[in-house]
Structure 1
């Protein structure tokens, strides 16, 4: 291994991309630290359902995760679509074959695989980054100060690392004209392995439930010309915004509005896509939604995150100059990572 090869890596973000990247970097012999601003992992099994896709499934298989993920698979037998009056418009039975798991179950499997192979700094985040040309000096919000060879941002579409290295988010975030709100609520609707969607011009409310005794999950989307950035720092303003778009007293909309007001896991965000000219700069790189993120509504982010993490670690693995590894990683991912190379060793 050349002496100049970077071996100490900080991964900022312990989501799907960050956890997978830390795992594969550890397999390649790197000394990996993962910093995650939340103090603990999300509750097991909670969260929206993600689809792995071909490349994501292959990475999961190479990590030995498929048995756990198959056991956590959530099937959906029926989708019912309603019109604005609450009347049934159509019913659809989805075609099977995709591996679909809750995001919380995927994260639990990833973190179990990662255990013992990386240092985890939970409840902390990066405050400043200083690249002196030889290494990156990192100050954390906790007051800790450390030095790394490389720093990888994997914090999602609102990446802190991207902000610190590349500048504010807005030039990179391309708003699609929609806002969404997601939250869980008690399944008092008699739903099992099914989704019901209510739709009116510019608005949609989706209610999904899987196994018996589990919470239901609501996802509300609305069309809005201007992104409501001013409400994102205020949870109550977010609720007021969304409630104003769903005043109808039809179907379960009144119950959904009440549940949203009480929900402790409400997530409101804009639908859009991250577009950035380069995913790396000097000793920094981005992976997952921090680099190419789209809305979680697209349902493809998990598989792309797994594939991107694998490819980045694969390119860094042989050692040598990180600049070349970053360039090869980006070239492969921008061309599509549907076909992964054979694992090394």
Structure 2
């Protein structure tokens, strides 16, 4: 079986890794050039089933060694005292296997483990023709080829989803906010601390990146209406951000001074993808391409890792019919994950003064509780229910006895 995967960020490499382990021939096409995979992207969290999958891949030690090592959070707001939060204790209450890592670092580690996957960097799919027996694929640069299956693992703005399922506008649910992240000189020398400042409808954050000696600035803003912009036009997005925060105060003027020079600027809507099916014929979707739970507030990275593992196992078990069984396996996990984004966004980007006081209070109190009580509290909310919604299937019987735990090393 030959499988084409579009997207080389998180879900794509995880899917390729496991399909390789099951003897499936994999090709990954990625729009960006290979040299862009490095220390870019904002910090993401791995927990629950995603941590289990990374351990099964033999990559847990490497991932934890590359973690951000941010162990303290300071929350500031106008008219309130700074609140200091022990992140180690806070994360321990969520999961005993949690790691925060830069998205670019995670991508690098995952991609390096995918030998013998073929990578087509700097290219993209322009047409898909599914005749029931296979899929003919036309590329922007490479010659046309035929595959048994095509999987879109290409993020919230998925090209595969657009070609096979229709326009993004028909399946996107705007949650009422936007996120921006970029690198800048570490002028505040925060070390292992993260600093955030909240106001009604807005949040600004800053943390150091130990691997580069730089810092990352993060902005989140609430908007009632969707903004009109081209998601590939970085200059336009930078102008939108500068306009929104030009009168914010705090340390924002110093952060915005570095905006124009930022080469890794990221800006996107905090939105969900609400497709109710993730397979059509011999074309499927995984991760944010199929069911993005919302950037920065929905646990999408962990969901992508877990569901890519399940998709690989179902395809190895059932062949092309595995697209349907995969959908059934992950549905409850996806449905519960969709409830996380609106709840998390409501607490970190406050709608009013009452909510503005809530996060610092909760963040300071909860980590001081005994771990079992913290776990119980988390189990009762949307995050906890999503983490524990389904058991992770065991596909170890599909592996060859000679298949190494980490064939890419």
Give the structure-1-normalised TM-score.
0.92
Aligned to 1:317: 316
TM-superposition CA deviations, 1:174-202 (whole Å, max 9, x none): 00110111101111102011111112221
SS at match of 1:74: coil
Distance in 2 (alpha carbons) for counterparts of 1:130 and 1:237: 35
Matched, 1:62 2:56: yes
1:260 is aligned to 259
Partner of 1:340: 392
Judged with a 3 Å threshold, the aligned counterparts in structure 2 of structure 1 residues 329 and 183 are, in CA distance, closer, same or farther, namely: same
CA distance in 1: counterparts of 2:154 and 2:203, whole angstroms: 28
Deviation at 1:339, TM superposition (A): 2.2
* Alignment match, 2:103: 103
Q: Secondary structure at the match of 2:36?
A: coil
Checking the alignment, whether the CA contact within 8 Å between 1:205 and 1:221 is kept in structure 2 is yes
C-alpha change, 1:43 and 1:234, in structure 2 (3 Å) is closer
How far 1:41 moved relative to its partner?
4.5
CA drift at 1:51: 1.4
Provide the C-alpha distance between the structure 1 equivalents of 2:65 and 2:298, rounded to a whole number of angstroms.
20
The 1:338/1:41 distance shift into structure 2, 3 A limit, reads: farther
In structure 2, distance between residues paired with 1:140 and 1:210: 36
2:241 is the alignment partner of 1:248: no
Whether contact under 8 Å (2:44, 2:103) holds in the other structure is yes
Match of 1:163 in 2: 162
Which position in structure 1 is the counterpart of 2:337? Answer: none
From 36, 43, 46, the equivalent of 2:40 is 46
> Structure 1: where are the runs of 5+ without partners?
1-6
CA distance in 2, matches of 1:226, 1:26: 44
1:207 is paired with a residue whose SS is strand
Q: Does 1:89 align with 2:75?
A: no
C-alpha spacing 1:92/1:308, structure 2 compared with 1 (3 Å): same
TM-score (norm 2): 0.78
Q: Which residue of 2 aligns with 1:230?
A: 229
Cα-to-partner distance string for 1:6-55 (whole Å, 9 max, x where unaligned): x0111011110001101111111111111011111535333322211111
Corresponding residue for residue 23 of structure 1: 17
| Whole-angstrom distance in 2 between the partners of 1:14 and 1:232 | 19
Deviates further, 195-204 or 156-165: 195-204
Q: Deviations over 1:78-123 (max 9, x none)?
A: 21122247x64322222254222221221111111102x2111111
Give me the CA root mean square deviation. 1.8
Distance 1:263 1:138 in 2: 36
Is the contact made by 2:37 and 2:107 (CA closer than 8 Å) also made in structure 1? no
How many residues are treated as equivalent by the alignment?
335
Alignment of 1:125-164 (within 5 A): 125-164=124-163
Cα offset, 1:299, TM superposition:
5.8
